[in-house]
Amino acid sequence: MFISSRLCRVFILTALFLFMLTLSGSFNRGYATTAPITGVSVDGESVKNEETVSTNNNTVRIKVSFRSTATQIKIGVVATFTLDKADDDWKVTTTQPEVDAVISGRSAEVKYYPLKPGKNTITINGSGESKQTIKITVDYTDRPLDGAIYRILDITKTPKSDFFSKTVGLDFGKNNYLMDGRNKSKDQSVTVTLRDSIVPPKRYLLRSPVVRLESSDRYGTLADSAVLTLAFHPYTATGADSELTVFRITDHEDTNLGGKVSGNKIAVTLSGRIDGYYGVFAAVSGFRDFERLGWAYHSIYPLWVKGVMEPCNWKENPWRYPYDPSVGEDYFGLFLNRSYSRETNISRGEFAAMLVKGLRLKPVDPPYRSTFKEFDALDTDRRQLMETAVAHGVLRGNPDGTCPIMGVNGTLTRQQAAVLLARVAQLKLETDQKKVDDTLGSLFADAASIGAWAKPSVLACHQAGYISGVPAGDELHFKGGEHLTRIQGAALVHRLVVAKGYI
């Protein structure tokens, strides 16, 4: 009876002790009272030893709380926090500085712990009065869901990434980096966030999830170009390549970037500032004058859809063409009036801009002083296009007394267009003038009227399939001195960009 009572008292005391430990939370998370670690959280949510959590982001924030007796904390393979007893200060070492490991008070934190798709087992070790090991599993699902985040910690170390179940791809290329003004940014990270929808540009409908790109510095720019690849919805009509494009949408403007379709994905070139929202959009309505285009429809429509050619009507008129006010916003501006009796002549500026955009020439930042004074009258976007055209040799100045001018608002003859086109397409020109004359004479009845300076370019463009003649009865005329119209200019640019594989 004595032994029984004694055992009973021991049992009761033990039960009370265990109950007090439970109340204090010592066992609530599986951490012993002398263990250095008192708690672990992932993205703000507490986790226990051997627990599994799920995320749709490729990085998570791991925070470890510890006791005052702790001397070292290790978070996975990326960060180690060690107490320097000599100066009573914590030292932080990382295998990847971009993970942003910090220590504050009695907590050690890795702000961006990198994950691979699937289950990631992360071991957390603590040292102090005793040693402790905690294992957690983070399941990264990598699904293209609203709110999903993919963070590229350093584009110089990870220049190419595919994520969100390979519906989004970014390729920054070798030796590319983010710039802060003229200098390389210290932070080379880019954050990609997925969202379901956005207000589409006029005449377009969204055909993909929306991707938001955020660089470490919202004013940062790329030193070189990059390629963004987006998958569009599987129910998008097959054969709709010419109707699909990528827009970059910011608080200030919607920029049509075009893009090359391959399968169910579209690739587009990025340059300069990349911050903004990106999505695949399909054109769902055109303009009234498209109905009168005939043969030129299949040239102009894809150029408009992909942002190479802009509408120029009474309301939207970036190139300042002289239109009858009746040519409203539902017209593309291919004819001077609604009677369709006269085609609009194209300007040197618009033709050059179409070539710059169609050939994806790398943009240049406009200098403090414009290369040509007349550029000062242009808006920011068109000024950059003209400076880019000059930098790449698309446009060259015309002599006007002692001052060179570009004449961006001036018209362009067919033979001038041939010279420009041959130059930008880098066509090989025949140097034997007699051979040029004889060949052109066999092609065009009016070959003699073509300027000698333009003949090699006209021949090269004709042989490349970019320029054809104008039928006149049984004869074919080139009409080199006539003004090039917007319709004709679109046909030339379309043939070139198709031949180069950009559309």
Q: 195-204, 235-244, 357-366, 409-418: lowest mean pLDDT where?
A: 235-244
Tell me the per-residue pLDDT of 93-113, one tens digit each, with 9 for 90 and over: 999 999 999 999 999 999 999
* Measured distance CA(485)–CA(354) in Å, rounded: 13
Q: What does the pLDDT read at residue 237?
A: 62
CB-based contacts of 199, cutoff 8 Å, min separation 6: none
Q: Are 283 and 243 in contact (CB under 8 A)?
A: yes
Q: What does the pLDDT read at residue 205?
A: 94
For residue 427, give the nearest of 468, 394, 456 by alpha carbon: 456
Q: What does the pLDDT read at residue 399?
A: 43
Q: What does the pLDDT read at residue 493?
A: 97
393-421 average pLDDT score: 77
What is the chain's alpha carbon radius of gyration, rounded to the nearest angstrom? 33
Backbone angles phi, psi at 228, to 5 degrees: -105, 130
**pLDDT beyond 80 at 120:** yes
Q: What does the pLDDT read at residue 403?
A: 45
* Measured distance CA(35)–CA(493) in Å, rounded: 72
Q: Are 28 and 22 in contact (CB under 8 A)?
A: yes
Q: Are 262 and 306 in contact (CB under 8 A)?
A: no
**Distances from the Cα of 134 to the Cα of 73, 101, 234, 406, angstroms:** 11, 19, 44, 70
For residue 419, give the nearest of 502, 495, 352 by alpha carbon: 352
User: pLDDT-based confidence at 68, cuts 50/70/90?
Assistant: very high
Class of residue 70 by CB neighbours under 10 A (exposed 0-12, middle 13-18, buried 19+): buried
pTM: 0.85
Number of neighbours of residue 367 by Cβ within 10 angstroms: 11
User: pLDDT-based confidence at 424, cuts 50/70/90?
Assistant: very high
**pLDDT beyond 80 at 400:** no
Q: Which two tokens stand for residue 341?
A: 């009796």
Q: What amino acid occupies position 82?
A: T
**pLDDT beyond 90 at 207:** yes
Q: What does the pLDDT read at residue 341?
A: 83
230-237 average pLDDT score: 83
**Distances from the Cα of 163 to the Cα of 236, 273, 474, angstroms:** 21, 22, 59
SS3 label, residue 476: strand
Of all residues in the chain, what percent are helix, strand and coil, respectively (each to 5)?
Answer: 25, 30, 45
Query: What is the rounded average pLDDT for all residues in the chain?
Result: 89
- Pick one of 1.10.3720.10, 3.30.70.100, 2.60.220.30, 3.30.70.1230 as the CATH number of 148-283: 2.60.220.30
**pLDDT beyond 80 at 5:** no
* Measured distance CA(36)–CA(82) in Å, rounded: 13
Q: Would you say the CATH fold of 148-283 matches that of 37-140? A: no
> What is the distance between the terminal CA atoms of the chain, rounded to a whole angstrom?
96
* Measured distance CA(55)–CA(44) in Å, rounded: 12
The percent of residues in the chain predicted with pLDDT above 70, rounded, is 90
* Measured distance CA(61)–CA(163) in Å, rounded: 19
* Measured distance CA(496)–CA(501) in Å, rounded: 9
* Measured distance CA(218)–CA(202) in Å, rounded: 26
**Distances from the Cα of 230 to the Cα of 144, 245, 276, 373, angstroms:** 11, 10, 15, 40
CATH number 2.60.40.10 given to 37-140: yes
Tell me the per-residue pLDDT of 133-171, one tens digit each, with 9 for 90 and over: 999 999 999 999 999 999 999 999 999 999 999 999 999
Residue with the larger pLDDT of the pair 245 and 10? 245
Q: Give the strand pairing for 52-55 and 131-140.
A: parallel
Tell me the per-residue pLDDT of 307-357, one tens digit each, with 9 for 90 and over: 999 998 777 778 878 777 767 788 899 988 778 888 999 999 999 999 999
Q: What does the pLDDT read at residue 359?
A: 93
Q: Where exactly are the structural domains of the chain?
A: 37-140, 148-283, 290-500
For residue 243, give the nearest of 267, 262, 263, 261 by alpha carbon: 261
**pLDDT beyond 90 at 240:** no
**pLDDT beyond 60 at 17:** no
SS3 label, residue 431: coil
**pLDDT beyond 50 at 25:** no
Tell me the per-residue pLDDT of 189-200, one tens digit each, with 9 for 90 and over: 999 999 999 999
